[in-house]
Structure 1
Amino acid sequence: MPPLFAVCAANAGVTALLGTGPTRLFPFGDAPENVAKPYAVYQVLNGVPENYMDEPPDIDEWNIQIDVYADTVSSANDVLKAMRRALEPHCYITRLGGTDTEPNTQLKTTSLDVSWYHPT
């Protein structure tokens, strides 16, 4: 797995919005109940080894989805922008999601997908 959390937690723009100790970026399904907003979760969509005919793979491509939750659309978009700036030097942004309202919590959401080549 690429160092997604480490990259984001080391970025001042991200931590200004998602905090430190802890940085509110969690593996999918692990966000604590009643966590402060905004926060983000990530999940691996898939991983693909870079296969070669004459040797084992030395790099894998990881496709990761990041979902942002916030009280307002502008806050969700601010987090999306900060995460994008932090991640772009390390991986490719392959999708920027739209905004929506989560029906159970009324939190505003947005998302992005990244494609990250990471050594095995």
Structure 2
Amino acid sequence: MNAPPLYRLAKLSPSVLAVLGSPEPRIYPWGENTDKTVAYPYATWIEVSGAPYNHLAGRPSVDRTTTQIDVWAKAADPAQAQRMVEEAATALRDAIELDCYITAWRRHPRDPDTKVYRISFDAEWQLNR
């Protein structure tokens, strides 16, 4: 199965590079942000579901997959952290939404222990085999 082109599309976006770092944006598969010093904002992604696009006759030519994208931000000023997470989530959305369907948005409260803000959204991709 093909992986969604999230990272490739994000790297092409000047807006994403401006908020998530350049030349390599801070976008990691879930659980793989191993930076010794975490730089905010950053994004993580994980494929949460997938299925072939079946037909009555013949083999499917497309696989559908849903990717959950989480954007994280933290700053000394809570208002600044909230702006950072919103700006990064918007930049990612704008970078990918012409190649997928955004199917869900989730705004999470600030984590009381870590003080990290998070916005999640789901992207459904139809990937040619």
Pairwise CA distance, 1:21: 4.0
Question: Identity percentage over the alignment?
Answer: 32
Give 1:90's aligned residue: 99
> Where do 4+ consecutive residues of structure 1 move more than 2 Å?
102-105
What is the identity, as a one-letter code, of the residue corresponding to 1:16? A
In structure 2, stretches of 5+ residues that fail to align are 75-80
Residues 55-106 of structure 1, C-alpha deviation per residue, up to 9 Å, x if partnerless? 1111011100000110111110111111111111111110111132234421
Do structure 1's residue 63 and structure 2's residue 66 form an aligned pair? yes
| Unpaired runs of at least 5, structure 1 | none
TM-superposed deviation, 1:35: 2.1
Alpha-carbon contact 1:91-1:117 (below 8 Å) kept: yes
The answer to whether structure 1 residue 2 and structure 2 residue 13 are counterparts is: no
Work out whether residues 49 and 57 of structure 1, in 8 Å CA contact, stay in contact via their aligned partners in 2: yes
Superposed counterparts of 1:91-106, under 5 Å: 91-106=100-115
The aligned residue for residue 44 of structure 2 is 41
**What RMSD in Å do the two structures reach over aligned CA positions?**
1.3
Aligned length: 120
- TM-score normalised by structure 2 residue count: 0.87
Asked if 2 retains the 8 angstrom alpha-carbon contact of 1:66 and 1:112, the reply is: yes
TM score, norm. by length of structure 1: 0.93
Equivalent residue number for residue 30 of structure 2: 28
Matched to 2:96, the amino acid is L
